Structure 1
């Protein structure tokens, strides 16, 4: 295990933070979370009893807020972001100021010996070449505002140095702060509750990773920071570069009544289509522990609890 670190996690009450923060505490680190609690949930209630945990309510874009919090931090993990193309398109100013500008502020405020570990998205690859794996050296061609802001933030962090960036595949799995809108989570939710889905452009491919494996990648990076520093790493399941159609074929093995079909007209507003190589991080000794099937089984159980029916009559 790495030496115990003092870690500041901005946006630590989000989907990833709600899994990563308890994992960091369990590994013996001291963690402060800065979060605006935009989604009005309390996903870190279960770690408030931990003596090495603290929480601050506030905006990760505020320099005033950040200055006292970064003073004692060995490592900063900037999770605060508007995640996903639709959310960013709905509020372009907030997307740019949170996803990019808040990270630029951190880069400016942190001393050279403070470390940054940052999640970005492999959606920066945009539309890949047919049959060709995207590696960390593949040119970045983001096709959404979300992708562009994350690519710009990553460039600033890696240029500053003493940093690691993780280019995450599409994340899936249950978390205390749940996101039903992510592709695997969404498809399984529909399979459980609607038993049917209509696919737009079902041949579009992408890579997937379990949320707990994302947390494990951060712990892995903390343990091996000196050997991994100043490079980006793709983080995904190497056996799960799947099209939307192939993903549905996996889901139907678990839910045989699930029906899926291709839409005769229309298109997917999310044009991402690529396959990804995760060889660089695997070469450092990292291997995912959760398969796509594990995640689907977990989500099916989770959706017996969660019914996103706030606006329905039944």
Structure 2
């Protein structure tokens, strides 16, 4: 096609602030719709670009959304309250944004417009030891955040001309930084506190660097006809790690870091699973940033950043 026009809802967030310049550099025309809930200036460096447009508004406002969709060829629906804690803090805002906002988008878009949807592999909830969760595994979300994302994914795929990426726990540096994500949080504590107490350290997760998330969206855009109307897990296949294993990896690069597992107490986040990323890898996608590379990157970032404002909660 001629120069493709991309609308990113929530494009000034953690992922969007990395994805937007990548798409502009790849030759796409990009419009971002964002409410700037956190007052973030993360897209300022893109304002010089003639193919970058910005709309300040709420994805739940159908008048704003209708105008924003306009002539977009591709819609990347990043707008969301991300994470169980922030969703639990305002359940109404979470549902109206994470589910009802997607329903409005599906109602207003034309059937020819592609939708790329970021789901979460936390929808797998609690897996079975040694059994990898694949896209065929049952979804058992255990938080409102995961339940709403899983239902929104179902509706996107049922509507046609959509792809869902079930993202592993994302880590890495973004102009709209977040410290409350697991790897980011642990590295931040290693740099600033030099110590960490872990609850239920055997719980496992999968991880993916933020730049690889942006690359995964571009990968789908280049192969949309072959990949459409399906979900894909997106993570590092060599990083299905427990919290204790993650701490050991961090300690290799930050030797002064000490951690211990609490003998009593529970983690309110009960997710525990390992994930197979073989399906998207079979389409030719391979992550480019390893966990150690991301830890080193974060180590440098947290030498600069110390404020707790870089989080959602």
**Shorter-normalised TM range:** over 0.9
Tell me if the contact between 2:55 and 2:68 (Cα under 8 Å) persists in the aligned partners.
no
Write the distance in 2 (CA, Å) between the matches of 1:49 and 1:103.
30
The residue that corresponds to 2:284 in the other structure is 285
The structural deviation recorded for 1:309 is 5.7
TM-score under structure 1 length normalisation? 0.97
> Are 1:266 and 2:258 counterparts?
no
The residue that corresponds to 1:39 in the other structure is 38
Higher mean C-alpha deviation, range 287-296 or range 2-11: 2-11
3-state SS in 2 of match to 1:296? helix
The structural deviation recorded for 1:160 is 0.3
The residue that corresponds to 1:297 in the other structure is 296
3-state SS in 2 of match to 1:133? coil
The structural deviation recorded for 1:4 is 2.8
Write the distance in 1 (CA, Å) between the matches of 2:2 and 2:218.
11
> Are 1:182 and 2:181 counterparts?
yes
Cα RMSD, aligned residues only: 0.9
The residue that corresponds to 2:196 in the other structure is 197
3-state SS in 2 of match to 1:275? coil
Tell me if the contact between 2:170 and 2:209 (Cα under 8 Å) persists in the aligned partners.
yes
When residues 127 and 213 of structure 1 are mapped into structure 2, their CA distance, relative to the original with a 3 A threshold, is same
CA displacement, residues 116-148 of structure 1 (integer Å, 9 cap, x when unaligned): 001010000000011100000101000000000
Write the distance in 2 (CA, Å) between the matches of 1:294 and 1:3.
36
Write the distance in 1 (CA, Å) between the matches of 2:74 and 2:270.
35
3-state SS in 2 of match to 1:152? helix
Tell me if the contact between 2:9 and 2:34 (Cα under 8 Å) persists in the aligned partners.
yes
The residue that corresponds to 1:77 in the other structure is 76
How many residues in Structure 1 have an aligned counterpart in Structure 2? 309
When residues 109 and 293 of structure 1 are mapped into structure 2, their CA distance, relative to the original with a 3 A threshold, is same
The residue that corresponds to 1:153 in the other structure is 152
The structural deviation recorded for 1:5 is 1.0
Tell me if the contact between 2:119 and 2:149 (Cα under 8 Å) persists in the aligned partners.
yes
The residue that corresponds to 1:212 in the other structure is 211
Unaligned 5+ residue runs, structure 2?
none
The structural deviation recorded for 1:253 is 0.3
